[in-house]
Amino acid sequence: MAIEYFEEEQVFKLDTSNTSYMIGIIGEEKFVTHIYYGRKMKSHRLVYLMGLGEPAYVADEMAADRLNFLGGFPKEYPTGGIGDYRESAVGIRTKSGHTALKLSYTKHRIYSGKPELSGLPASFGAKDECVTLELECEDLFLGLRVILLYTVFEDVAAMTRSVRIVNMGKEEIYLTKVLSASMDMDNKDFDLITLHGDWARECRINRYPLTMGTHLVHSICGKTGHQSQPFMALAAHGTGEDQGEVYAMNFVYSGNFLAQASLEPSGGLRFVMGIHPQDFLWKLNPKEEFQAPEAVLVYSIEGIGGMTRTFHDLYRKHLIRGEYRDKKRPILLNNWEATYFNFNTEKLLAIAKEAAADGIEMLVVDDGWFGVRNDDSSSLGDWFVNEKKLPGGLSHLVHEVHALGMKFGIWMEPEMVSQNSELYRAHPDWAIAVPGRKPSLRRSQYVLDLSRQEVVDAVYHMIASVLHSAPIEYVKWDMNRALADIGSYGLPPDRQGEVLHRYVLGVYQLQDRLLNQFPSLLLENCSSGGGRFDPGMLYYGPQIWTSDDTDALERLMIQEGTALLYPLSCMGAHVSDCPNHVTGRVVPFKTRGQVALAGTFGYELDVTKLSREERLQIPEQIAMYHKYNDLVRQGDYYRIASYAANGVYDCYMVVSKEKEEALVSFVHVLLHPGELVHTIRLKGLHPDRNYEIEGDTRSYTGEELMYGGVRIHTPWAGGDCCGKLIHVIAQK
């Protein structure tokens, strides 16, 4: 069984295919201690690692050096106020103003399958795919019960953690902090790996040595944000793509978060993840409970690449849902960079007609189809058609697009309201604001207060009305500003600290209701590009717009960082116009198509304005997509070379699970004189199988391709920014 309890030693052992995780119960007070996480072991007898017989680890409640014990032993879910001065995972304040919390094990339950988390996105699995441990603890003085949930996915070597807190006492308790996971461990000369960025520069890989003190990534802007991913990894120094130890956490949540590693002078290390405690205060009345979001834990002995493939497998199989989870996505054309706000039915149909002739499968109408919106200063919240632009409304336009053999999609920003809108004039109190204080605008818009159920209901009915008005197959759900001036007209003073989390729960409820009502809808999430690219949003939509920067060379770096965690199948990627609208750079049309292949694939341009040479390449790119997308979407991802790191060329490959087929994507960014050839060593093939390269008459063994390599000559490039695809097929 994947989870076992050894009663004599009071040890829980959680196993995947190649990892083990161990938890111990120690002393008469039944403290819950972290013992081990790492390579899979047969033994469970590692309690000696706790050093319980050593002078500093005397668990007796009356011991003279009690604080030494409380402040030093490795806890599974540390609390504050009792002598552990490291980062706590949970914080409380009682009605009388006290903060001390001490948890002791009371009971546990082990069962097949995995429970849903109320109101939250979470991984899922059938009873034969995963096993769950519910480990119950309680502060008997306060009557506060804390249930630690662990689920082990044996097939993908990953596990998840979350926490549920129940007030069993007679008085209200305020939760000041609820993190989802904590792990105490020894420092192994770790490097930290994080993903940082900004608008149009998302997910840049950052690696640096873990030094003494506290290192963190976080967001306090109401969403996960462009600046950092809800992710942190600890990699043993010297760990590379294919070898070495990595410990990683990723947070299944779309609001404020904290990921933190703290290295103590004693050599101990505490690694935590959860909702950011800033501006968080949750009132828990008697018999009420609070469910924290889920953290995903991955351990890899096969380096960073092994970590990546584990995340990919978990998310593809156990997080992404719906009709399109395992399906090829329709090739779309989005009109944003083609027309911006300046369009009408005639213009859209002219683009659609030419796009359909080239084999493009869907037209997506972006911002500007509703209210009186001709720029970004008005009409968000007024979700009715602007019939001056679109006579006959969406139903007429969709009918005409369908007549061309294309699907139809639409852009919306349901979480926002413009100051200049009918909705705001009718309900100014529906915007997030501190009562009595004028909130700040961004893009002339406010954020709707989705912590209030009446606002959630009203927004849902507006969206559903639009989708009922015409057969719309796709929605791009955008969110273009951060939250500020945090306050709600709908909550009492002692619950204002709940606004930010309740807002996120409102977003989740909206998308969940939408998908239940329209189960065939393809939902693509977006937040000014990748400003809310996280596992929480991936649970509702199988793809997320990766970045507003569509420049192919910038996308090499953005997509590399995003693919560190997320499958290629979920990364929105388009071929856009040149000079690029963000960078002004010109990249060959062929290379733009190759780079967009590492994603959902589509177009963001006016096909009627392309040169004849570029127009002729569209059917070729579409054929390329259909030929390779099953492999790109489902295969194992291997990073071979990073343009972000070497400044010259980029290379990755995907390999089918059966190792029958592989695709190598090589982009030579900067051509240097005399640099005539690159030898690329492939990965992930079977060393003893015979393979052929499409267009090459030779036969190669897997070991030749992996250990010897493939020679790629640069003269074919004809200059900078040229790419090459290498298709490898196993011989029968």
DSSP string, 45-103: --GGGG-TTSTT----TT-TTHHHHHTTS-BSS-BSSSS--S--SEEEEETTS------
For the annotated catalytic residues, the residue numbers are 478, 548
Measured CA to CA in angstroms, residue 181 lies from 115, 178, 694 at distances of: 17, 9, 47
The CATH 3.20.20.70 portion of the chain extends over 332-634
pLDDT, tens digit (0-9, with 9 covering 90-100), for 574-586? 999 999 999 999 9
**Is 3-318 a domain of CATH 3.90.79.10?**
no
SS3 311: helix
Relative to beta strand 289-291, strand 158-167 is antiparallel
Query: Can you give the pLDDT at residue 64?
Result: 73
**Helices 345-358 and 612-634 sit at what angle, rounded to 10 degrees?**
70
**Is 640-730 a domain of CATH 2.60.40.1180?**
yes
How far is residue 351's CA from residue 721's CA, in Å, rounded to a whole number?
Answer: 28
**Helices 589-596 and 552-563 sit at what angle, rounded to 10 degrees?**
10
Taking 70 as the pLDDT cut, the residues of the chain under it are 51-62, 715-718
How far is residue 342's CA from residue 407's CA, in Å, rounded to a whole number?
Answer: 22
The CATH 2.70.98.60 portion of the chain extends over 3-318
Query: Can you give the pLDDT at residue 282?
Result: 98
Query: Can you give the pLDDT at residue 676?
Result: 75
Q: Which two tokens stand for residue 183?
A: 């792990």
Please, is 647 exposed, middle or buried when counting C-beta atoms within 10 Å of its C-beta (0-12, 13-18, 19+)?
exposed
The CATH 2.60.40.1180 portion of the chain extends over 640-730
Query: Can you give the pLDDT at residue 717?
Result: 47
Tell which CATH architecture fits domain 332-634: Alpha-Beta Barrel (3.20)
Q: State the number of CA atoms in the 13 A half-sphere of 379 facing the CB.
A: 16
User: Any idea what DSSP says for residue 539?
Assistant: T
How far is residue 280's CA from residue 154's CA, in Å, rounded to a whole number?
Answer: 35
Query: Can you give the pLDDT at residue 675?
Result: 74
In 3D, which of 595, 603, 533, 518 has the Cα closest to residue 570?
Answer: 533
Residues 636 and 309 sit within 8 Å (Cβ to Cβ): yes
- Cis check for the bond before 277: say yes or no (omega within 30 of 0): no
Residues 536 and 253 sit within 8 Å (Cβ to Cβ): yes
Whether the full predicted model's pTM is greater than 0.85, yes or no, is yes
How many residues belong to the chain? Answer: 732
In 3D, which of 318, 396, 338 has the Cα closest to residue 122?
Answer: 318
Q: Which two tokens stand for residue 643?
A: 């343009």
Angle at 560 between CA 723 and CA 644, to 5 degrees: 75
